[in-house]
């Protein structure tokens, strides 16, 4: 992991120098992705140039995650702001449509993005994304929500690689061992929604990225339904990995 770590630090410093920025802001959920991103940012830019925003939904976000986010920021000597998002929910009941479950969940992620960019604009900072390669490939994120960022620090690391890097960086075990969740809904977990563990998902994603055919994966023992679901996700969410297209004239 040493080479990976050094490359990420070098890349982050180079990006900020080229962009002409010195300060960064990152949303802290108390989970492993934001923890690793924060640590890398501190090592690359210095703790004085990094700010964390803790943006829980009271009544849904766990107290454990809030505590973990605060403690990590304090340990890394990063200034942070604690701002629950409850009071900023928009009452879509006044609109002439009824929002779906997905729409409600995505709205929460987009509210957090608004806070991050409000801070970034105010303090001349860049927003650091916390999405990993597994999530990006699967489209497991909210467009203009948690996928809104100026740079995806760990965007080229599969989730299992994020775990390995977290161990290398000395991220607290309490954070590493928790079940990943976006906490957009009660009882939600990443692996529960995606239908498999990240270990299995990453194995399949890596093989698909190496152009292995679905039938080869099935012959290797992976469930056909899971493979088909993953391929469907990758295709359906391709728009999340691209800039909005401009129509030809």
Q: Is the pLDDT of residue 94 over 80?
A: no
Q: Is the pTM of this model over 0.85?
A: yes
Q: Where are the beta strands (DSSP E) in 62-163?
A: 79-82, 125-129, 151-152
Q: Residue 169 domain-assigned?
A: yes
Number of domains within the chain: 1
Q: Is the pLDDT of residue 92 over 80?
A: no
Interval 97-148: pLDDT, tens = 888 889 888 999 999 999 999 999 999 999 999 999 999 999 999 999 999 9
Q: Residue 237 domain-assigned?
A: no
Interval 142-172: pLDDT, tens = 999 999 999 999 999 999 999 999 999 999 9
In the numeric block, the tokens 């801070």 are attached to 119
pLDDT at 209 (0 to 100): 94
Q: Residue 43 domain-assigned?
A: yes
Domain that holds residue 21: 2-183
- Return d(Cα 44, Cα 234) in angstroms, integer: 32
* Residue whose C-alpha is closest to residue 152's, from 172, 135, 176: 135
Q: Residue 199 domain-assigned?
A: no
Q: Residue 209 domain-assigned?
A: no
Check: CB of residue 136 under 8 Å from CB of residue 158: no
Q: Residue 60 domain-assigned?
A: yes
Return the CATH number at 154: 3.40.50.620
């Amino acid at each position: 992991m040493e080479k990976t770590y050094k490359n990420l630090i070098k890349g982050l410093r180079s990006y900020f120098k080229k962009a002409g920025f010195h300060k960064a802001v990152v949303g802290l959920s108390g989970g492993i992705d934001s923890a690793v991103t924060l640590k890398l940012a501190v090592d690359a830019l210095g703790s004085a140039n990094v700010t964390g925003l803790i943006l829980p939904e009271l009544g849904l976000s766990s107290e454990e995650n809030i505590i973990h986010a605060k403690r990590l920021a304090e340990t890394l000597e990063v200034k942070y702001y604690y701002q629950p998002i409850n009071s900023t929910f928009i009452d879509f009941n006044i609109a002439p449509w009824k929002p779906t479950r997905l729409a409600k969940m995505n709205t929460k992620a987009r509210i957090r993005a608004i806070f991050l960019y409000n801070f970034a604009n105010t303090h001349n900072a860049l927003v650091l994304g916390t999405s990993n390669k597994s999530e990006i490939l699967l489209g497991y994120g909210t467009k203009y929500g948690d996928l809104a960022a100026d740079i995806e620090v760990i965007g080229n690391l599969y989730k299992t690689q994020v775990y390995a890097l977290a161990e290398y960086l000395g991220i607290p075990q309490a954070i590493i061992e928790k079940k990943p969740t976006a906490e957009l809904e009660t009882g939600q977990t990443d692996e529960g929604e995606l239908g498999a563990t990240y270990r299995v998902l990453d194995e399949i994603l890596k093989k698909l990225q190496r152009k292995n055919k679905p039938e080869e994966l099935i012959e290797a023992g992976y469930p056909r339904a899971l493979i088909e679901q993953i391929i469907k996700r990758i295709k359906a969410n391709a728009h999340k990995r691209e800039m909005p297209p401009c129509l030809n004239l």
